[in-house]
């Protein structure tokens, strides 16, 4: 028998079918039961009773060509016959094992492929998104679950389109946030994000406080919003953010002046209004420097020309921000809501104003102007 392994060509013992390395690999990886080693020497030493072979004492028939089969020729024939049978057995074993190994290898590859496809499908079904199902279909275009993936993907697209149609008339911030969370890869994402940005800006702008502007800016910085109004929010936040150390007594005095001034202005009580204005005012809304008396006369004249018009100023004192200068002057920023109307009451409410007020050390107002609602400047 050959001393070379039929699988790898390495040296092996004559009694073994394969080398030790190939035999170990076949046993472990393909779970093939290997036959024991063949002991040819032992088999050759045992006598074999040949059926049909006569003993030396019996007559041996003479062949037609009259060739005698002597004892030596018979022994040689027997040894060749036995050796041929052993070679046939070995070849049969090698062939059978080769077929078994090949079958095991092919089956193992098939099983691994099926397992991989199952895992990819489970991941797609768990994610339950259009892109997840597309990834499965691209990996296994003829896969077991292609039809199911197509059906689920179509259902998702139909539901997504219906959800977008509902959002077109919605002003609910939560609904827009839910859509983006549920459909992160939606083709409508840009439209939804911009609409959500507008709604959250309006929400912050209506509240008109440093905290709400800060919340809007944080949402932009985190990537939740595109930030179309970020710079305006930042400007207003800086106006209203209380960075100066607050004294409760001082803060209460400032709030009392602001509340009294806007109350008198709303009620058109010019005598009361005079109590809050300094003798000389450097800026009064859109007017330049003028005396207190001239400012009050101008207000009375304007009222006489439009007796039915009325504006009520509503300051948000809880969101008031102030700081003191080195010369003890006070600068105040306060969110404002204005209600426009006439004798029958308010007809329109506008938020988004910020009043800017400057007071001297005696708490008299010597300057006042406004930041108008966003877009009103245009």
CATH code of the domain covering residue 337: 3.10.450.50
Q: Which residues, other chains included, contact 124 with Cβ-Cβ below 8 Å and sequence gap of 6+? A: 132, 133, 135, 136, 149
CA dist., res. 122 & res. 133, Å (int): 10
As a whole number of angstroms, the distance between CA 18 and CA 10 comes to 9
For 42-84, what is each residue's pLDDT tens digit?
Answer: 444 444 444 444 444 444 444 444 444 455 555 555 555 555 5
Q: Is the pTM here over 0.85, yes or no?
A: no
Closest C-alpha among 138, 98, 100 to residue 8: 98
What is the pLDDT of the chain when averaged over all its residues? 81
Helix runs in 128-229, H state only: 130-139, 146-167, 173-182, 189-207, 210-221
Q: Three-state SS for 245?
A: coil
Domain count, the chain: 2
Same domain, 213 and 189: yes
Contact by Cβ (8 Å): 180, 192: yes
Give the pLDDT confidence of 198-229 residue by residue, as tens digits: 999 999 999 999 999 999 999 999 999 999 99
Q: Let me know whether 190 and 229 are in one domain.
A: yes
Query: Which residues are within 8 A (CB) of 285 and not within 5 positions of it... i.e. 6 or more apart?
Result: 368, 369, 370
Give the domain-ending residue among 213, 240, 267: 240
d(CA 265, CA 267) in angstroms, rounded, equals 6
Give the pLDDT of residue 323.
93
Within-domain flag for 330: yes
Q: Which of the two residues, 130 and 269, has the higher pLDDT score?
A: 269
Q: Do 192 and 282 have their domain in common?
A: no
Structural domain including 278 reads: 248-371
């Amino acid at each position: 028998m050959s001393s070379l392994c039929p699988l790898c060509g390495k040296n092996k013992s004559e009694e073994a079918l394969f080398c030790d390395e190939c035999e170990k690999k076949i046993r472990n990886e393909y779970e093939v039961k290997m036959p024991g080693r063949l002991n040819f020497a032992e088999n050759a030493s045992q006598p074999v009773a040949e059926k049909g072979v006569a003993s030396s004492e019996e007559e041996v028939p003479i062949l037609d060509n009259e060739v005698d089969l002597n004892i030596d020729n018979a022994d040689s024939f027997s040894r060749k016959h036995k050796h041929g049978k052993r070679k046939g057995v070995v070849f049969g074993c090698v062939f059978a094992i080769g077929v078994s190994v090949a079958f095991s290898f092919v089956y193992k590859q098939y099983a691994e492929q099926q397992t991989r496809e199952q895992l990819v499908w489970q991941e797609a079904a768990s994610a339950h998104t259009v892109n997840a199902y597309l990834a499965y279909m691209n990996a296994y275009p003829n896969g077991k679950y292609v039809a199911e993936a197509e059906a689920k993907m179509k259902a998702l697209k139909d539901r997504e389109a219906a959800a977008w149609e509902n959002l077109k008339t919605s002003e609910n911030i939560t609904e827009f946030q839910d859509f983006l969370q549920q459909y992160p890869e939606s083709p409508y994402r840009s439209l939804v994000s911009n609409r959500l940005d507008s709604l959250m800006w309006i929400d912050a702008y209506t509240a008109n406080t440093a905290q709400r502007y800060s919340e809007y800016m944080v949402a932009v910085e985190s990537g939740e919003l595109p930030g179309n109004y970020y710079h305006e929010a930042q400007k207003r936040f800086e106006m209203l953010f209380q960075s100066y150390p607050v004294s409760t007594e001082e803060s209460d005095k400032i709030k009392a002046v602001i509340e009294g001034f806007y109350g008198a202005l709303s009620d058109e009580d010019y005598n009361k209004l005079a109590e809050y204005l300094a003798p000389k005012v450097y800026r009064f809304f859109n007017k330049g420097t003028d005396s207190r008396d001239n400012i009050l006369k101008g207000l009375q004249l304007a009222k006489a020309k439009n007796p039915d018009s009325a504006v009520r100023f509503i300051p948000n004192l809880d969101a008031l921000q102030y700081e003191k200068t080195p010369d003890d002057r006070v600068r105040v920023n306060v969110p404002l809501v204005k209600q426009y109307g006439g004798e029958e009451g308010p007809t329109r409410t506008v938020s988004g104003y910020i009043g800017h007020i400057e007071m001297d050390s005696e708490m008299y107002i010597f300057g006042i102007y406004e930041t108008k609602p966003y877009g009103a400047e245009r």
